Structure 1
Amino acid sequence: MSYKVVQKQSNGRYYLYEVTGVWDPVKKNSKQTRTYLGVCDAEGNLLKEPARNRTVSCSPVYGPYQLFVQLAERSGLTSALDDVYGVRDGRRLLAMAILGIVDPVTVNQMENVIDDTYLRELLGVDWGFEQSSVCRFLQTVGHASEQRELLFNELAPKSGCVIFDIVCLGTDSEDLEYAEVGRKTHLTGSRQFDLGMVHSMEDNLPFCYRTYPGSVADVSTLDNIVSDLRTMDCSPVELEMDRGFFSIGNVQMMLERGMGFTVPIPARVGISKLLLSESVREIDSPLNTDYLARSVVRGYETFVRLEDDELVKASEGDAGAIRALVFQDDSERTKEIATLYSRIGELENRLSGTGYDRFARKKLTRTEQQTADLLEFAADCDGKTVVTRKRNAISAKENACGRFAVITTSDKHWLDLLMQYRLRNGVEYDFSQLQSDLFVGITGKSDQDSAEGGLLVNFLSLRLRLTLINLLKEKGLAGDYWVPDVLNTLKKLKISCIGGKWRLNEVTKAQRELFEALGVNIQ
């Protein structure tokens, strides 16, 4: 038993002691020991903390974790996870997602890494992150497909424009249901699967993903995602896609479902060649010209319709007419035309006058073979190669330089549609830059449920990382900072446990200015 005693000294100061009763086994009686606690007032309140209580017990990393915790709260991700998975499991998922951005590691290293962070304290997570516990947790959340769909529904916009894109990821596990030999297996030597991501253009964040077998073509996946968006009550929605999703079947299906869409027509499709040739007469008109991103851009508008499983020209008033647009960027067109004739001239000079070889085309690179399709090769009387240009083929190729055709159900002005499509390209570029992070989600996962749980965590990491990228662009910091720069700057900010109390270390000017610019509070 112990109690505290206040003792006044001759100098008028008060000192606080802790008195403890101790049993002496030799003398077989009790005695009291005193422990000095420090200077106090007359009521026994310490005036300053004793030096022995100012020992630093640990100094974990604080800066980047505080940033992403606040970004998760601000974007609504924290509340969505809490609602769907409950506070305990939702915060565990969020902790693993944030750790996957700041210090991505495999499952067996996670416990050691998180001990050097202030993440558990920020999120209130009382969990050890041992390898066995994390593996069981990933299996549990991976198996809970209904909860995952509820999360996607929470994050989904109910209207507006969405982007659907697919990336191919490799895996060494042969036990995953969707891992197959696919179109890139000969390059990577591993099985693969396709990951489809749906991205909202309202908040510029992904809100849903789907996994597909690695052998499935892009055009075969669209029907499923359209049905899923309907299930999420996302209507009216306009799908922005790249030309890999173009097919007559997809166009017919989206029209029948009443789903809005904008999709480019591949250059190899006959209607694309017709639209590009037709646009030449009017696209250079001042009425169809504007200025965008330091370049002159042009737009030509017409209509097409489905007939006998193909797209044909139509008039605006025709039944089933679909709006078609041809876009031209003068800067890109000049560059592409210069590249076209440079390649033609280079191939002509290299092969003209050489010994004729009827198998010479097969010995060319893929790019050279595409150029060779615009030329004719023959042998003269001396057996030398004679090269002549195919006028119509080169004209058609030149017409396509800096131009592309799209079909759309949107009634927006052509310039707004072009800006929207370029925004889609920007999102696709950001996603392609980050898709390597998604590979971690299936690394070392030997079963389907674990892989699904890993993909969910990495999806959350991707969403948080894109939240930061969008904020950097919004605040005008993208030219000075990118994600690695932000992490490197804030990783130096630590928080120390001194005498049982947490105290933030000194915040540098660069760290303070970055937090202020991003609108993040330093607690």
Structure 2
Amino acid sequence: MSSIVFQHHPNGTDYAYMSSSYWDAERKTTRTRMICIGKKDPRTGEIIYNKRWKELQAEQQDKAPGTDMPPAVSSTLSIGPSLLLQAVTDKLGLKRSLLKGFDADTTSQLLALAWFFASCPAQRAYLAEGWMESHRCPHQESPLASPRITELLQSISRDQILSFFKSWLRRSKDTEYLCFDISSVSTYGTYNPYDEYGYNRDGESLPQINIALLMGMESEIPFYYEILPGSLHDVSALPAFTAMLGKLGMTKVSLMMDKGFYSQKNISMLLENGIHFTMPVPKNISRVKGYMDGDRDDLELPQNILVSDERSTVYGITHRTKLDGKRLYYHVFTDTAMRIEHVAKFNAYMVELSRELETGELVESHAEDYSLFFTVKETPVRGRKVIWNHDAIKAYRDRYVGYWSLVTSCEPDARTALLQYRKRDKVEKQFDNLKNMIDGNRLRTKGTVSNESVVFLRFLSLIITEYIRKVLRDTPIDPRLGNTKTWITRYSVPEVFNRLESYTEIVFKNTYKPIHPEKTKAQREIFQIFGLES
């Protein structure tokens, strides 16, 4: 039995659907099929039928001889998101790399789940079955129910994942910087040796795992991740990580890192292994303090201007030196606008240190600054008294706040090193995307294997969504007019999938050709951006 129902869209339009109930013999239940047939005229209230429904009605007039039965509909599938996902998967060669570690059937299942997570990042895995039933996708002939997804996650081995990475890492360019960073993900999981308490970047009192992520600075493609114990510090993770890259065939690597990875031991290790790098240097390093002290009077001379605009001017001076016989470059910078902001942050940090000393809630990493900027006296009568060392605070603020330094083995030019380092904020945004994908930042799995598998699936979907985001960000809306605006100003990645959702395909059980709807304006634009064909 069929009936017409209306659904109100946030854009203010009331869309009309033909709702039909039918008996699913395999599942032994009644199911509903809905086909969009048009929209309600806001003035007359009548239905304005769309092109797809008119074509379907015309097809139904062509009945089989001797029968009044119209053509039977076999399926109605959403194919808009699938066309985009298939194009991106093919463009990136994702399936080819997966087949290096998994058989064809498992690869099909992994891609189906990666597609689901890419188009529905906020959804849980158990909802994938319904999505696969209503969308054209890999492994559609046998949608994955929740128990089968669990079996799949438990069957994935670390060796299979590493085989994928060995192939996938070959896509990175030898000349491309690979941005490396670590972030924590809180977990409610149990029986996982990686779940430990440590420095939680989200400030939560939960055990966590650390995820190290490697991303191309130019391609913006995530290339590799590593799950690490939650208590492990950044500086301790680097040697094992670089050793793993060597085992995966990455002999020519240029890493962009933050100052958490800096240590004399790590610098020597990177130089010894021929790994190029660029990273900030902590200000408590005596060598850098000496450079800043010597450069202060000359740094803001006109010949040292690196970048200048109406908001700020960045100055820089380069110092060349050697370590273990290998060339190193220390670039010292200051920014006229950022210096004011840095002073404000420094003052706020001093207030925070004072509060920690007064309350006794000490932070281990602040120990050196406690002794440098404050004196604590304990008396039987007055108790604890925190004394500010104003001379030390003023001397440090005037000499070092607003100045910073980069050390690099491969960028002799200070301006080039600065501009390259500024791009690393993209990997921080990808961390946010990956963490938001992992069950709202909470891993609820049991055991190392399933934890690894969940992150792996989310990583695959991150590859797809970051490529889509880069295309939107790099494609101008109208290159003929010299317009610098790109499509990312009009469509976010979630909105792209939302716009494509209503592009469907009706398939008949007999010889009739499938019917596709007329594309909306947004769908035509998205098809053009990504070169899609219906």
TM-score, with length taken from structure 2: 0.73
Kept after mapping to 2: 8 A contact 1:336/1:401? yes
Structure 2 residue corresponding to 1:335, chosen from 310, 334, 341: 341
Call closer, same or farther: CA 1:331–1:477 in 2, change over 3 Å.
farther
Corresponding residue for 1:5? none
* Counterpart Cα distance in 2 of 1:386 and 1:83: 62
Secondary structure, counterpart of 1:159 in structure 2:
coil
Structure 2 residue corresponding to 1:504, chosen from 513, 516, 523: 516
Kept after mapping to 1: 8 A contact 2:124/2:439? no
Corresponding residue for 1:170? 186
Call closer, same or farther: CA 1:55–1:417 in 2, change over 3 Å.
same
Residues 295-347 of structure 1: CA deviation (Å, up to 9, x unaligned): 4222111145569xxxxxxxxxxx55521111223322243346667999xx8
Call closer, same or farther: CA 1:503–1:521 in 2, change over 3 Å.
same
* Counterpart Cα distance in 1 of 2:370 and 2:502: 54
Corresponding residue for 1:132? 147
Amino acid across the alignment from 1:470: K
Residues 50-74 of structure 1: CA deviation (Å, up to 9, x unaligned): 6844455543332222212211111
Equivalenced residues, count = 444
Corresponding residue for 2:469? 469
Kept after mapping to 2: 8 A contact 1:376/1:390? no
* Counterpart Cα distance in 2 of 1:342 and 1:216: 28
Question: Which has the larger displacement, 270-279 or 237-246?
Answer: 270-279
Question: Which has the larger displacement, 320-329 or 439-448?
Answer: 439-448
Q: CA RMSD in A?
A: 3.6
Kept after mapping to 2: 8 A contact 1:240/1:263? yes
Call closer, same or farther: CA 1:480–1:327 in 2, change over 3 Å.
farther
Once the two structures are TM-superposed, the CA of residue 470 in structure 1 deviates from its matched residue by: 1.2
Structure 1 residue corresponding to 2:233, chosen from 213, 217, 224: 217
Kept after mapping to 2: 8 A contact 1:92/1:125? no
Call closer, same or farther: CA 1:193–1:302 in 2, change over 3 Å.
same
Q: Give the percent of matched residue pairs that are identical in Structure 1 and Structure 2.
A: 23
User: Which residues in structure 2 correspond to 1:176-325 (within 5 Å)?
Assistant: 176-184=192-200, 187-291=203-307, 295-304=312-321, 319-320=325-326, 322-325=328-331
Kept after mapping to 2: 8 A contact 1:163/1:239? yes
Amino acid across the alignment from 2:131: V
Secondary structure, counterpart of 1:504 in structure 2:
coil
Secondary structure, counterpart of 1:481 in structure 2:
coil
Call closer, same or farther: CA 1:479–1:398 in 2, change over 3 Å.
farther
Corresponding residue for 1:353? none
**Is structure 2 residue 532 aligned with structure 1 residue 516?**
no
Corresponding residue for 1:434? 434
* Counterpart Cα distance in 2 of 1:331 and 1:77: 44
* Counterpart Cα distance in 1 of 2:391 and 2:211: 43
* Counterpart Cα distance in 1 of 2:467 and 2:305: 34
Secondary structure, counterpart of 1:405 in structure 2:
strand
Amino acid across the alignment from 2:164: L
Call closer, same or farther: CA 1:292–1:457 in 2, change over 3 Å.
farther
Call closer, same or farther: CA 1:87–1:270 in 2, change over 3 Å.
same
Once the two structures are TM-superposed, the CA of residue 521 in structure 1 deviates from its matched residue by: 1.0
Once the two structures are TM-superposed, the CA of residue 239 in structure 1 deviates from its matched residue by: 1.2
**Is structure 2 residue 163 aligned with structure 1 residue 153?**
no
* Counterpart Cα distance in 2 of 1:301 and 1:338: 27
* Counterpart Cα distance in 2 of 1:77 and 1:185: 31
**Is structure 2 residue 117 aligned with structure 1 residue 111?**
no
Amino acid across the alignment from 1:520: G
Once the two structures are TM-superposed, the CA of residue 418 in structure 1 deviates from its matched residue by: 0.9
Secondary structure, counterpart of 2:424 in structure 1:
helix
Once the two structures are TM-superposed, the CA of residue 268 in structure 1 deviates from its matched residue by: 3.1
Kept after mapping to 1: 8 A contact 2:318/2:331? yes
Amino acid across the alignment from 1:504: H
Structure 1 residue corresponding to 2:109, chosen from 85, 92, 103: 92
Once the two structures are TM-superposed, the CA of residue 186 in structure 1 deviates from its matched residue by: 11
Question: Which has the larger displacement, 393-402 or 212-221?
Answer: 393-402
Call closer, same or farther: CA 1:359–1:222 in 2, change over 3 Å.
closer
User: Which residues in structure 2 correspond to 1:394-473 (within 5 Å)?
Assistant: 394-439=394-439, 443-473=443-473
Kept after mapping to 1: 8 A contact 2:213/2:222? yes
Question: Which has the larger displacement, 241-250 or 321-330?
Answer: 321-330
**Is structure 2 residue 488 aligned with structure 1 residue 478?**
yes
Once the two structures are TM-superposed, the CA of residue 522 in structure 1 deviates from its matched residue by: 3.0
Amino acid across the alignment from 1:117: H
Call closer, same or farther: CA 1:176–1:49 in 2, change over 3 Å.
farther
Amino acid across the alignment from 1:242: D
* Counterpart Cα distance in 1 of 2:328 and 2:412: 14
* Counterpart Cα distance in 1 of 2:459 and 2:340: 40
Kept after mapping to 2: 8 A contact 1:170/1:439? no
* Counterpart Cα distance in 2 of 1:252 and 1:61: 55
Secondary structure, counterpart of 1:194 in structure 2:
strand
Kept after mapping to 2: 8 A contact 1:305/1:321? yes
The structure whose Rg is larger is 1
Corresponding residue for 1:3? none
Amino acid across the alignment from 1:118: R
Corresponding residue for 1:362? 358
Residues 140-162 of structure 1: CA deviation (Å, up to 9, x unaligned): 12x2x222112111111262321
Call closer, same or farther: CA 1:337–1:56 in 2, change over 3 Å.
same
Once the two structures are TM-superposed, the CA of residue 283 in structure 1 deviates from its matched residue by: 1.9
Amino acid across the alignment from 1:211: I
Amino acid across the alignment from 1:414: A
Secondary structure, counterpart of 1:302 in structure 2:
strand
TM-score, with length taken from structure 1: 0.75
Call closer, same or farther: CA 1:364–1:403 in 2, change over 3 Å.
farther
**Is structure 2 residue 512 aligned with structure 1 residue 493?**
no
Once the two structures are TM-superposed, the CA of residue 87 in structure 1 deviates from its matched residue by: 3.1
User: Which residues in structure 2 correspond to 1:59-70 (within 5 Å)?
Assistant: 59-70=76-87
Question: Which has the larger displacement, 146-155 or 125-134?
Answer: 125-134
Amino acid across the alignment from 2:130: N
Secondary structure, counterpart of 2:148 in structure 1:
helix
Call closer, same or farther: CA 1:187–1:83 in 2, change over 3 Å.
closer
